[in-house]
A and B are shown apart, each in its own frame.
Chain A
Amino acid sequence: MYQFNYERPKTLADAEALLAKADDPKILAGGQTLIPTLKQRLAMPSDLIDIGGIKDLDFIRAEGDAVMIGAATRHAKVAQSADVKKHNPALAALAAGIGDPAVRHMGTLGGSIANNDPAADYPAACLALDAKIHTTKRLIEADEFFKGMFETALQDSEIIKEVTFPHPEKAAYMKFRNPASRYAMVGVFVSKGPWGIRVAVTGAGQNGVFRVAEMEEALAKNWSPDAVANIKVPARGLNADLHGTAEYRAHLVTVMAKRAVAAAG
């Protein structure tokens, strides 16, 4: 690690002020991605603004036809939340399948989507559930938020405050874990709700999470595993590495989609 200033503001306003003032600040949430990056000396921020002390960012609230989750809410809390389990069990299950217990008790929703790791789980949920991402500056639709590998619509010193997940009628997430990292090698989130039908794929794409229109159309006509069983996403544009070829990932998208539809019922 290089040296940096450390701040732990109590309010969002203080956090914003600190961000505005610093040379090259970074927001610190659960630190599960940022701290390893710092330890490996791959980043050299002037200031770390730890948002863990801001009470207003740590909450889960069910209101009307949506669940609101504060950006600094830990994965474990989402996984265990009675509200999330009741209204959006697929989301609770997704959170329960992130990393390991230590990671789930530190990592946060806001940190996960701000980071937009192409193999992260939450981006698939946000995209498939038509989530609304509220920041200190605006509201961003999930469709507009994820811009590519480790890239989002967030501007410098824009803080995610909360994510609103409207209740789905049906939803399920199926994750094929990378054997080593246990991140998603391919994760498919399918949903049916007021937004229609969505199929979002994480892990596979070189540019991060994406939707599969062909599967969405097929499911709109016939909500059943068979409807997607013969739909293949093109291998071009998918990741290929030591853990699997692009063709393998393309194949897994179909398998996981099929299983997700079956699980969603």
Chain B
Amino acid sequence: MSEAAREGIGQPVRRKEDFRFITGNGHYTDDISRPRQTYAYFLRSPHAHARIRAIDTSAAETAPGVVAVFTGRQVADDGLGGLICGWTVTSKDGTPMKVGPHPILALDTVRYVGDHVALVVAETLADARAAAELIEVDYEALPATVALDACQASDAAQVHAEAPRNTCFEWELGNKAETEAAFARAARVVKLDLTNNRLIPNAMEPRAAIGEYDKGSGIYTLHTTSQNPHVARLVLSAFVGVAPEHKLRVIAPDVGGGFGSKIFIYAEETACVWAAAKVGRPIKWTGDRSEAFLSDAHGRDHLSHAELALDPDGKFLGLRVKTVANLGAYLSTFSAAVPTYLYGTLLSGQYDIPAIHVEVDGVYTHTAPVDAYRGAGRPEATYLLERIVETAARETGIDPAEIRRRNFIRSFPHQTPVIMNYDAGDYQASLDAALEEIDYRGFAARKSEAAKRGKLRGIGISSYIEACGLAPSAAVGSLGAGVGLWESAEVRVNPTGNVEVLTGSHSHGQGHETTFAQLVASRLGIPISNVEIVHGDTDKVQFGMGTYGSRSGAVGMSAIDKALDKIEAKAKKIAAHLMEAAVEDITFENGAFTVQGTDKSLVWAEVSLAAYTAHGFPAGEIEPGLKEGAFYDPTNFTFPAGAHICEVEVDPDTGIAEIVKFVAVDDFGTIINPMIVEGQVHGGIAQGIGQALLEHGVYDPTSGQLVTGSYMDYCMPRADDLPSFTLGFTKTICPSNPLGMKGCGEAGAIASPPAVINAVTDALGIRDIEMPATPARIWQALQSAAPRAAAE
């Protein structure tokens, strides 16, 4: 095998970027320092809700080392706009969502603990922090609205005057009349109330920013921990008005994890880049972990009621869902889209459900904004559906695997009642493979063996689907998106034959530098070490939509593939000219151009060099150089799907649920690098298990203080909380993109929570348990269940 083939599509190539990361040679935002740099510290609200009567910054301004102090007043006086939500959701009654102002620094009201009150810029961080303590804020504390189930009450404290009853939108999707008719003729209706717990993202690298202004050119530069620097630039220029787009450069260097939380445009980087011009010096801000807990956008946080209608054979007739989704105190960059178009559209799951109707109320509370977090809407949809399907199996007495089989969609394309048009899949194949792998038939024996050891063993299935490859621009535009969701690529071939690929995708842990290079290696027959993936700088990459929603393979790589088509076409033209043959007679394989039927051949490097020497190119026919760009706009979402099965053993004495087996069989279409894909699945499952058993963002219901503001109380999964995962893959090719890829970044986080909770409830013999199913909750559930069981 040639080196290029060993590194091509389908090969488990080691990640190129890891050596730099694990030897401490990465360049994260905080690693970067600019000449004459100052340091920022944000004074944050200690109240969940308060009116600011006055702010006195005079003592802070004269404190040692202080360069400047800014409040919301100066920001407003400078004419800066607030932060925006880039997706407009329309309510059932046709009115647009009700948006409260989202100032960069609070003006007269603070709306959550951690809200931004003032920015102190000083020579050192210590100076800035010390000065912040000298700022006197005269707060009038007000009652806070925290609990999701009470926030729409008429007497609940209002988060925004613009949104009565704290309701931002009342959205619906699907066909209500058909759904009601389905329920009317149902043999059985299964009902379930569910909570999808609030999560706090906790990327390894906290958010950070360096704002800079060059007086000579009038150009602003922002280094920031972003998953999508071009979108940040667009928002900061077009909406916030920091600087015109061509005078603002945004650089997202190495970024240590995002999981969605770094898609958004936050107050901190905005304030830093704006204030840099005011103080005439670069300003660096690096959030600490406590700030991350308080002010990174959180995830999930739904309350739902679901009803499933079944016919006498256990076929699903209709699904009815009512969800209240917490948006927090302000709308974050994509928050309105998450509990609507990324949630309701996935409620058909892998099943042929003829009628679906979902209503979602997006509500404000005095808590940190809630936005996309790994999976974004799709974990919530999957959790709801897979929990109610499991409940239906238990109530009808149909085996959980069998009830799924009876309802699987089997022919494609399949139009669901909730917008999505599934293009390809084989749900039975992944479920069967997972059942086989976990030895489903042997479960009963394992359960009784566990019982002899005093353990309660349970098994839970989750057959999930998700929509990735965000997204066809026209489709999202018609649904309220303020942007298109195509991707761009530019391939620059150097005279020596090595290649730079400029991509609008952004890698913050996904391994793009390797995966993308593997595609180039496969196409051009060169080793991946000769390929440089360039991303994350608006001065280098013309435009891009960034990385989230498992889109970088299906959309980002498709753009690269398209650009490579053009490169190949031009290179063939050059080769034809050099070998004095017709273009149609040139074949390109394993890095060699050959005139068909002859032994005339040129290698890649010879053609690249010729592209730049350009000697004797026929004028007007071949331009010198070898550089091509492409924009790729997908024609459909992609639909990764699969089956995850979890087996747990509960210790009834302590309530500890141990995951003893976890099998995941996923269909991601074409896989470029199986090692990286497995890593993505592992990470996703770890986060899903975190949600199911460990993690919970909790606010005090009265004061609105964040109770889980550190790792002492917020339980991140650790290696020893997790079992060894058994992974498998099935494959149906995605027909809508040239590489047949579907996306793998979020699947684990989407699929695994219901598998775990189905297993835990199976073990305990109960209908439901709230996530996270902590030992305390499990023990409590057993206490409540025990007397009932005894009475039966």
| Minimal beta-carbon separation of A108 from chain B (angstroms) | 20
Please tell me if A48 contacts chain B, counting CB pairs below 8 Å. no
Please tell me if A244 contacts chain B, counting CB pairs below 8 Å. yes
A interface, over-half SS:
loop
| Minimal beta-carbon separation of B659 from chain A (angstroms) | 14
A242 & B698 in contact (Cβ 8 Å cutoff): yes
Instruction: Report Cα–Cα, A242/B779, bound state, in Å.
Output: 14
Please tell me if B569 contacts chain A, counting CB pairs below 8 Å. no
A244-B775, A255-B653, A255-B654 known; A181 vs B712 contact (CB < 8 Å): yes
CB-contact partner of B713 in A40, A180, A248, A251, under 8 A: A180
A242-B707, A245-B780, A248-B780 known; A180 vs B775 contact (CB < 8 Å): no
B776 & A176 in contact (Cβ 8 Å cutoff): no
Which A residue's beta carbon lies closest to that of B777?
Answer: A244
A181 & B126 in contact (Cβ 8 Å cutoff): no
B residues 689-723 in Cβ contact with A at 8 Å: 694, 696, 698, 707-708, 711-716
B residues 252-287 in Cβ contact with A at 8 Å: none
Which B residue's beta carbon lies closest to that of A181?
Answer: B712
Please tell me if B774 contacts chain A, counting CB pairs below 8 Å. yes
A1-B126, A252-B654, A255-B653 known; A179 vs B715 contact (CB < 8 Å): yes
- In the bound complex, residues from chain B placing their C-beta under 8 Å from that of A138 are none
- In the bound complex, residues from chain B placing their C-beta under 8 Å from that of A245 are 776, 780
- In the bound complex, residues from chain A placing their C-beta under 8 Å from that of B712 are 180-181, 183
- In the bound complex, residues from chain B placing their C-beta under 8 Å from that of A181 are 711-713
Size class of the contact patch on chain A:
10 to 19
Please tell me if A243 contacts chain B, counting CB pairs below 8 Å. yes
B residues 126-169 in Cβ contact with A at 8 Å: 126, 129-130, 133
A243 & B774 in contact (Cβ 8 Å cutoff): yes
Instruction: Report Cα–Cα, A189/B654, bound state, in Å.
Output: 17
A residues 166-205 in Cβ contact with B at 8 Å: 176, 179-181, 183
**Interface membership of chain B positions 101-139, coded 1 if the CB is closer than 8 angstroms to chain A and 0 otherwise:** 000000000000000000000000010011001000000
| Minimal beta-carbon separation of B693 from chain A (angstroms) | 8
Instruction: Report Cα–Cα, A243/B708, bound state, in Å.
Output: 11
B interface, over-half SS:
loop
- In the bound complex, residues from chain B placing their C-beta under 8 Å from that of A242 are 696, 698, 707-708, 713
Which B residue's beta carbon lies closest to that of A252?
Answer: B654
Which B residue's beta carbon lies closest to that of A1?
Answer: B126
Instruction: Report Cα–Cα, A182/B474, bound state, in Å.
Output: 50
Instruction: Report Cα–Cα, A183/B715, bound state, in Å.
Output: 12
**Interface membership of chain A positions 1-14, coded 1 if the CB is closer than 8 angstroms to chain B and 0 otherwise:** 11000000000000
Instruction: Report Cα–Cα, A181/B696, bound state, in Å.
Output: 14
Which B residue's beta carbon lies closest to that of A179?
Answer: B715
Instruction: Report Cα–Cα, A242/B708, bound state, in Å.
Output: 9
Instruction: Report Cα–Cα, A183/B711, bound state, in Å.
Output: 11
CB-contact partner of A244 in B711, B714, B776, under 8 A: B776
| Minimal beta-carbon separation of B132 from chain A (angstroms) | 10
Instruction: Report Cα–Cα, A1/B124, bound state, in Å.
Output: 13
- In the bound complex, residues from chain B placing their C-beta under 8 Å from that of A252 are 654
- In the bound complex, residues from chain A placing their C-beta under 8 Å from that of B707 are 242
A residues touching B (Cβ–Cβ < 8 Å)?
1-2, 40-41, 176, 179-181, 183, 242-245, 248, 251-252, 255
* Apart from the given pairs A41-B133, A180-B715, A244-B776, 11 other A-B contacts in the complex at a CB distance below 8 Å: A40-B290, A41-B129, A179-B715, A179-B774, A180-B708, A244-B774, A244-B775, A245-B780, A248-B776, A251-B779, A252-B654
Q: List 24 A-B contacts (CB under 8 A).
A: A2-B130, A41-B129, A176-B654, A179-B694, A179-B715, A179-B774, A179-B775, A180-B708, A180-B713, A181-B712, A181-B713, A183-B712, A242-B696, A242-B713, A243-B713, A243-B774, A243-B776, A244-B774, A244-B775, A244-B779, A248-B655, A248-B779, A248-B780, A255-B653
